[in-house]
Amino acid sequence: MTNALLKEMKLSASILSYLFIAFGLMFLVPGYPILCGAFFVSLGLFQSFQWAREANDIVFSSLLPIAKRDVVVAKYLFVCMIEGCGIILMGISVILRMTVFADSDIYRSNALMNANLFALGVAFVIFGIFNWIFVGGFFKTAYKFAGPFVRFIIVAFVIIFLAEAVHHVPGLEFMNAFGTDHMGSQLISLAAGVLIYMALTILSCRKACKDFEEIDL
Amino acid sequence: MNIVEVQDLVKKYPAFELKDVSFGLESGRITGFIGRNGAGKTTTIKAMLNLIHPDSGDVRYFGSPLLKSEADIKKRIGYSTGTVSWYPRKRIRDIVSIVKRFYDTWDEAAYRKYLDLFALDEMKTPLELSEGMKVKLNLLLALSHRSEVLILDEPTSGLDPFSRNELLEIFEDLKKEGVAVFFSTHIISDIEKCADDIIYISKGRIVAAMDKDAFIRQYSEEGETLEETMLRLEGGVDHD
C-alpha cells in the first residue's frame, strides 16, 4: 500500500492539490467565510482527479501488481492525506485564534463565523461529504467526475451557509465561541465532525471498492 | 502443464459477445492470439488482466484464480496493452522509478539492456515519443521484472520491420528462459515467424487453439501460406 500511495503522490497528483492545502490558512482570515478554505482544499483534490483521468491513471494503476480494491484504497489514502494536511493548517489557525488572538479586535468584531473547534468539526464534515459524494461518485464509473463534483459543491455550500447562520439561532450562540468559552460544547462538536468524517470516508471507500470491482476498464 | 488457464469466459456487450473462451498457455512456448479487428482479442486479454468483469468463466495463473491472488499473480506476469497512453508529461525515468518499486523481481540489468536495445531516452516523456516508441516503452516495463508469463496486446503494431524482428527475437530468447509468451496480433507473418501455438478467435469464439504445425495441417490447403489460410477462414467462418 505504501508503494500505491507513493504512486498517487508522485504520478497521479496534480501540483495544485499540494498548493491548495495552503487554503487551510483561510481560517485566519477575518470577515471571510472561513469554511471556504475546506472547499478550496477539496477543489485542489478535484484537480488531481482531473489530471489523473487525462493521464489514464486508473488503467495504469489497475495494471500494477496490486489488487483492484487497493487502487481505490490508495486514492482514498491520498485524499485523506491532503485533507489531513489542510486540517492541520486549520487546526493551527484555530489554536492561534483561540489563544494568541483570542482578544483581537479584528476577530472579535468579525461578523462571520469564528474559527473555533466547531468550525474545525464542520471542516471535517465538508471533507467527509467530499469523500462520500465526489470520490465515491467518481468510482462508480472511474471516469465521470463532473456530476459528483457539482453535487459536492451544492451540498458543501449549503453546509457552509448553515454553519455560518447557526450561531444566530437563539440558544446556539456557543457555536461562535471565542477563546476557550463553551469548551465542552466545542469539543463535542469537533468530535462529532471527526466521527462523521470517519463514517462517511470508510463507508464511501468500502462502496467504492465494490463499485470499482464491477467496472470494465 | 498449463501455467495459465482461461476457462469458459463469457462477456456480453450490446453489440458483441465473448462466447465460452477457453485455452491454456504453457511455459517456454510462444502463443499467437490471432483474429481480425473486433474479434475479441483485446476483450479476452482485458479479462485475463481483470480489467473487465466477465459475466462468467475463470482465469487461473500458476493454479490460482486471478481474483483470489491478483497482486501476487500480477507480480509474476508482464503485460503490455497497446501503446503507452498514461502520464504523457512525466519523464520515463520518473514513471519507471515508481513502477519498479512494485516488483521484488525488478531486474535493473534487463531494464538497462532493453532501454539500450529500444533506444529509449529516460529523460523523455511519453508525449515526446512516436507511437512505435510508446509500444517499446510499454514492452520495456513488461520485460524488466523477470515475468514468467508475458501477455502482450498487439505488441508489433506500429513497430517498423526492424523493431518487429528484434521483438520476435526477444520472444525467442524469453522462450528459452522458460517464459510463456502470449501475444495478440493481426499480422499473420509475426505468427508464422515465431509462434509455437496458435489461438484463433473469430466473432468472440475460439475457433482453434493448437500447435502451429497442427493448425496448418488441419486448416491450410496445399501451397497456402498461413496468411492465405487465415483470409480464407475469415471469409468462411460462421457462428450464427
Q: What is the pLDDT of residue B236?
A: 59
Chain A touched by B96 (CB under 8 Å): no
**Strand, coil or helix: A180:** coil
Task: Dihedral sign for Cα A168, A171, A174, A175, please.
Answer: negative
Cβ separation B51–A63 shorter than 8 A: yes
pLDDT on residue B182: 95
Q: What is the mean pLDDT of residues B14-19?
A: 92
Between B46, B72, B101, which is nearest A3 by CB? B101
- Judging contacts by C-beta atoms under 8 Å, the chain A residues touching residue B53 are 213-216
- Mean pLDDT in order along chain A per 10 residues (217 residues): 93 96 94 94 96 90 89 97 97 91 82 90 97 96 93 96 90 83 90 97 96 88
CA distance A216 to chain B (A): 4
Does residue B177 have a pLDDT over 60?
A: yes
Instruction: State the Cα–Cα distance between residues A105 and A113, nearest whole angstrom.
Output: 15
The pLDDT of residue B240 is above 80? no
Here the cell at position B54 is 466477465
The whole-angstrom distance between A211's CA and the closest CA on chain B is: 12
**Residue B237: pLDDT over 60:** no
By residue count, chain A amounts to 217
B88–A55 CB contact, under 8 Å? yes
One-letter identity of residue A150: V
**pLDDT of B154-166, one tens digit each?**
888 778 888 888 8
* pTM higher than 0.90: no
Percent of residues, chain B, with pLDDT higher than 90? 51
Q: Do A3 and B102 make contact, defined as CB atoms within 8 angstroms?
A: yes
Give the dihedral of Cα atoms A73, A75, A79, A84; nearest 10 deg. 50
Q: Given an 8 Å threshold on Cβ–Cβ distance, is A65 in contact with B74?
A: yes
CA distance to partner chain B, nearest, from residue A62 (Å): 7
Beta bridge partners of B58: B7
Q: Do A57 and B88 touch (CB under 8 A)?
A: no
Q: What is d(CA A80, CA A76) in angstroms, rounded to the nearest whole number?
A: 6
Cell 470508510 -> residue: A202
B211 pLDDT band (50/70/90 cuts)?
A: very high
* Residues B24-80: tens digit of each pLDDT: 999 999 999 998 888 899 999 999 998 898 999 999 999 999 988 888 999 999 888
Count of CA atoms in the C-beta half-sphere (13 A) of B49: 28
Rounded to an integer, what is the distance from CA A35 to the centroid of its chain? 10
User: Can you tell me the ipTM of this complex?
Assistant: 0.83
Cβ-based contacts of A67 with chain B (< 8 Å)? 70-71
Computed over every residue of chain B, the mean pLDDT equals: 88
Confidence category of residue B83, pLDDT binned at 50, 70, 90? low
Query: Is the C-alpha dihedral spanning B78, B82, B83, B88 positive or negative?
Result: negative
Mean pLDDT score, B169-175: 88
Residue B84 pLDDT > 70 = no
Residue A216: list chain B partners with CB under 8 A.
46, 51-53
Distance CA B174, CA B107 (A): 14
Distance CA A208, CA B162 (A): 45
